[in-house]
């Protein structure tokens, strides 16, 4: 994928989207082939994996924020511990990342003071603070109601507009069509069809994708 490109992975539940995404971060072991992402060749060497994960951030549908830490402190943790950043530099970076996701005034708020959508945006900011070259999003809105889903999608769309390279698993077809440069349709664990998003959504080539889009867009 090219720098600044946004790729959406779509398909029915169980089609392999999340597994593919986890392979890109080394969380799943591949049995064949090779992966190269953000300048890193995928290996099982722990040092190589740590280096890869510094450049490839991933955000899941569960926020996994530490409840006893503020939003800002949650974000500061990894840069200080994993990158050796000073606390003052990490604080400035956490504030910058909260600003990026529209939560610049919530640095001192603990997770239980935030809505689900806000907590998810803090989780996104936490990954951004590691200054990754690529961001992976694994169905980050699936546990949210429509209003909160919209605020998280807006934050991701803003990152796309600023040139962040991203791969995202999503069930939000309108969002994928609008934001992704390329969309990949997965079926039975393989890439079944892919192409520029507008083309794929308006002119699907296979009956399987046509049937999927008809169901999802009704």
CATH number for position 17: 3.40.50.300
* Residue 159 lies inside a defined structural domain of this protein: yes
User: Is the pLDDT assigned to residue 218 strictly greater than 80?
Assistant: no
* Residue 1 lies inside a defined structural domain of this protein: no
Other beta carbons within 10 angstroms of residue 163's beta carbon come to 10
* Residue 43 lies inside a defined structural domain of this protein: yes
* Residue 86 lies inside a defined structural domain of this protein: yes
Alpha-carbon Rg for the chain in angstroms: 18
Question: 205: Cβ–Cβ under 8 A, 6 or more apart, which residues?
Answer: 193
In this structure, of 42-56, 107-121, 186-200, the range with the lowest mean pLDDT score is 42-56
- Integer angstrom CA distances of residue 99 from 45, 82, 123, 156: 35, 22, 13, 13
User: Is the pLDDT assigned to residue 44 strictly greater than 90?
Assistant: no
Q: What is the pLDDT of residues 151-165, one digit of tens each?
A: 999 999 999 999 999
Domain count, the chain: 1
* pLDDT at residue number 61: 87
* Residue 13 lies inside a defined structural domain of this protein: yes
Task: Record the pTM.
Answer: 0.92
Domain that holds residue 13: 6-217
Q: Residue 202 — pLDDT band, cuts 50, 70, 90?
A: very high
């Amino acid at each position: 994928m090219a720098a600044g490109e946004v790729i959406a992975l779509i398909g029915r539940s169980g089609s392999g989207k999340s597994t593919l995404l986890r392979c890109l971060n080394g969380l799943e072991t591949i049995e064949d082939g090779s992966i190269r992402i953000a300048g890193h060749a995928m290996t099982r060497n722990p040092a190589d994996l740590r280096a890869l994960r510094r450049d490839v951030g991933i955000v899941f549908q569960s926020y996994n924020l530490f409840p006893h830490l503020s939003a800002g402190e949650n974000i500061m943790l990894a840069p200080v511990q994993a990158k050796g950043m000073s606390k003052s530099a990490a604080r400035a970076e956490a504030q910058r990342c909260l600003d990026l996701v529209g939560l610049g005034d919530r640095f001192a708020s603990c997770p239980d003071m935030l809505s689900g959508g806000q907590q998810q945006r803090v989780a996104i900011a936490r990954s951004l603070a590691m200054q990754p070259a690529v961001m992976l999003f694994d169905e980050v809105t699936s546990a949210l109601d429509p209003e909160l889903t919209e605020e998280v999608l807006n934050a991701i769309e803003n990152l796309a507009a600023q040139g962040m390279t991203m791969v995202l698993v999503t069930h939000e077809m309108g969002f994928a069509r609008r934001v992704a440069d390329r969309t990949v349709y997965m079926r039975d664990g393989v890439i079944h069809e892919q192409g520029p998003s507008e083309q794929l959504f308006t002119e699907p080539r296979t009956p399987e994708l046509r049937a999927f889009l008809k169901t999802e867009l009704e």
